[in-house]
Amino acid sequence: DNRSGRILAYVGGNDYDYSQYDQVDIPRQVGSVFKPLVYLAGLQKGLSPCDFYSNERRTYSRYEGWTPRNANGRYSGSYSMWGALANSVNTVSAEVMMATGINRVVNQAQRAGIQSEMPKVPSLVLGTAELTLREMVGAFASIANGGGAVTPYSIIRIEDENGKKIYTTPYTNVTRSEAAEPFQQVRKMMRAVVTEGSASRINAYTIPFNIIGKTGTTQNNTDGWFIASSPE
């Protein structure tokens, strides 16, 4: 539930008898599902979804010769922030990261509820941080609800054998804590991911909600991500 953080369903793996490996709480590199937090931080700084950046391949000598690559191997033309997020263009996303500032991005992620340590390097935009699915779902909920950080929880209350409540969750519906416009902008950009971008294949399914989302793939396809959310 984007408004409160209440977990409505939890599937940690395929078969508990086969493996007790809980995919929800095990840190994994998150890939490009981290990008919306970078773009949100950029929008909050004053960047525009219509700002254009060259798609050229660059080497950042200040960061040990880091050279981000695009999955499709193409480096011509230019993309707007909108188009770069929709199509998950790494070269442009790296430039958005530079224009935004690493510390600003880390601070935004922390405000969205991410508590794990994040490397303060530009490759963070490509998801080099090892975070949990629980953290990322909470962060996407924050984007969906307009900036209120939520803590995913599953226990609502605990009663003793006589029905007396001995625990009640302290979590309630959150309220927006940040300016609304950047969140509206990034939600529209994440909607484009689903309607025309890297997640457009989901339209083959009939989903009765407007959804926003982001795909993510780590090196050598070790991890494949897709997180979707509904502002409703």
pLDDT digits (tens, 9 = 90+) for 88-133: 999 999 999 999 999 999 999 999 999 999 999 999 999 999 999 9
Look-up: residue for tokens 């997020």?
85
Helix ranges (H only) for the chain are 35-45, 81-86, 90-100, 102-111, 133-145, 180-195
Report which of 36, 11, 222, 3 is spatially closest to residue 134, judged by C-alpha positions: 11
Instruction: Please tell me the pTM assigned to this model.
Output: 0.93
Task: Indicate the average pLDDT of the chain.
Answer: 93
pLDDT digits (tens, 9 = 90+) for 39-63: 999 999 999 999 999 999 999 999 9
Q: In this predicted structure, what is the pLDDT of residue 188?
A: 96
Q: In this predicted structure, what is the pLDDT of residue 231?
A: 78
**Type of residue at 61:** S
Reported as a pLDDT band with limits 50, 70 and 90, residue 228 is very high
Q: How many CB atoms lie within 10 A of CB 226?
A: 16
Does 232 score more than 80 pLDDT? no
